[in-house]
Amino acid sequence: MRSLAALFVRELRLAVRIGGGALMGVLFYLIVVTTFPFAIGPDLNLLSRLGPAILWIGALLSTLLGLDRLFEADRDDGTLDLMVISGRSLELLVIVKATAHWTATGLPLVIAAPFLSLLLAMPTDVTLATVATLLVGTPALTLLGAIGAGLTVSLRRGGLLLPILILPFAVPVLIFGVAASTAVAYDVAAFRTPFLLTLAMTLSAAAISPIATAAALRNGID
């Protein structure tokens, strides 16, 4: 456990240091969210209805922004080769790296969401519902992104291919996350089902992603 904790701290520092980490993601999130009011216009009712979708789209794009760097530093300095041939559980190492990456890049997006919702004139209950869905849904985006990062780590300019691979699988998370957030405005009871489906997709991704990512990394090294 001590070695895993040390790995988590190392990955957290790398995620923050390379590419700006949380700051870069939050700034991009801010740019995406503030662009929509200029495109849609000053209709506060329309902005309020579209607010959860805007926040989710911004979170999805911000998450994709740094996923290509998940294994890039380890590939460049040879650490990835050592991880693969060390005999340790590569799946467990993938979980630690993905958790650290989400803590550095995904969690700040969840924290920033309530403040950005003020720009969209979102009601308090819808804002809280959106934050809850982002909290349980963004880990799925990171875990799915880890699979894409593992598949493209050995490719030159693989970061351009990664969003194309991940977006089709991230769309269901986006759909149910937005559905749960918007349902609160009409019927609080309707929030439960899409929220639980979002949580289920995160748990499924947590089970599948380490195995698929580890297999992709092993094949990439071979």
Q: What is the pLDDT of residues 179-210, one digit of tens each?
A: 999 988 787 778 999 999 999 999 999 999 99
Question: 131 Cβ partners below 8 Å, 6+ apart?
Answer: 110, 113, 114
Question: 84 Cβ partners below 8 Å, 6+ apart?
Answer: 90, 217, 218, 221
Judge contact between 107 and 60, C-beta under 8 A.
no
The pLDDT, as a whole number, for residue 13 is 75
- For the whole model, what pTM was predicted? 0.88
* Token pair in block for residue 72: 């890039």
Q: Between residues 178 and 83, which one has the greater pLDDT?
A: 178
Question: 215 Cβ partners below 8 Å, 6+ apart?
Answer: 150
pLDDT at 21 over 80: no
The pLDDT, as a whole number, for residue 18 is 58
Query: Which amino acid is present at 135?
Result: L
Rounded Cα distance between 63 and 54, Å, is 14
Query: Which amino acid is present at 154?
Result: S
Q: Buried b vs exposed e over 116-147: b needs ≥16 C-beta within 10 Å?
A: bbebbebeeebbbbbbbbbbbbbbbbbbbbbb
Q: What DSSP string describes 167-201?
A: HHHHHHHHHHHHHHHHHTTT-GGGGHHHHHHHHHH
Q: What is the mean pLDDT of residues 49-74?
A: 85
